[in-house]
Amino acid sequence: MKNRFLYVLAVFLIIFLIVPFSVEAQENEAFKKELFIKNSDTLNYRILFPKDFSEEREYPVVLFLHGAGERGSDNEAQLTHGSKLFLEKQEEFPAIVIFPQAPKEDYWAKVEVNRDSVPLQFNFMNKETATKSLQLVIELMDKMASKDYVNKDQIYVGGLSMGGMGTFEIIYKKPEMFAAAFAICGGANPEIAKEYPEGFNIWLFHGKKDDVVLPKYSEAMARSINHYGGNAKLSLYPDDNHNSWDSAFAEPNLLPWLFSHKREE
């Protein structure tokens, strides 16, 4: 009897451990693995197409830039944060969603990071030539934007932490491409907002207790964007540390707000 009990217990433990991983794996597989190759450089990315995708229709496109912790070469870690949101809302907001992955040694934004102090210190150099990873993303997005099935007036970008920094920079470098954006716990040189399109809509999120990337960086970007004629709104979460993306992704109006905007000529 005791052996039978242990056997049943072992079976339940195996099911308990395996099932969540298999569900997550199935979710990840909805994002198809792809490579973007330019000359001798390769960018890993995952792409989600709407259900019943047809090249005869036009779809919005969302570019999502991950944080520093998801860098690598597995073409999978970049789905850790954010991918579930777009998958769950796929019926409501059918869109092409792209999750590129930066390698361990690179960064989305052009920034020097001083990791010898807490909080980290950032020297944003967004006006300089883009990093190799961001340049590859720009070229990938140029290619995507040329597709007949892409709605050129509904291309969006968002990201968290390092990806929030990359979001600010890619808007500066490609101001004509994006209809709206969101940036979570990021930062940038506030002066780049001069080059943002007039009335550009962007939603910034940050935790007030963030001791990795201080909230002052998002606050400065929001002020600057609005000062130069943009339309930035800022949500500060009083109890959040660096993982303010959890609160941001839980915002019921995030995707309705994002997809409501169209690029103005």
Rounded to an integer, what is the distance from CA 105 to the centroid of its chain?
19
pLDDT of residue 21: 47
What are the pLDDT digits (tens) for 105-118?
Answer: 999 999 999 888 77
- What is the average pLDDT value for the chain, to the nearest integer? 92
6 within a domain of the structure (yes/no): no
174 within a domain of the structure (yes/no): yes
13 within a domain of the structure (yes/no): no
> What band does 4 get if pLDDT is binned at 50, 70 and 90?
low
10 within a domain of the structure (yes/no): no
| Distance, CA of 27 to CA of 33 (rounded, Å) | 13
Domain coverage including residue 206: 31-259
What are the pLDDT digits (tens) for 230-242?
Answer: 999 999 999 999 9
183 within a domain of the structure (yes/no): yes
What CATH number does residue 92 fall under?
Answer: 3.40.50.1820
> What band does 119 get if pLDDT is binned at 50, 70 and 90?
confident
What are the pLDDT digits (tens) for 152-204?
Answer: 999 999 999 999 999 999 999 999 999 999 999 999 999 999 999 999 999 99
Angle, helices 132-145 vs 162-173, to 10°: value is 60
pLDDT of residue 22: 45
Q: Is 129 exposed, middle or buried (0-12, 13-18, 19+ CB in 10 A)?
A: exposed
Q: What's the structural domain count of the chain? A: 1
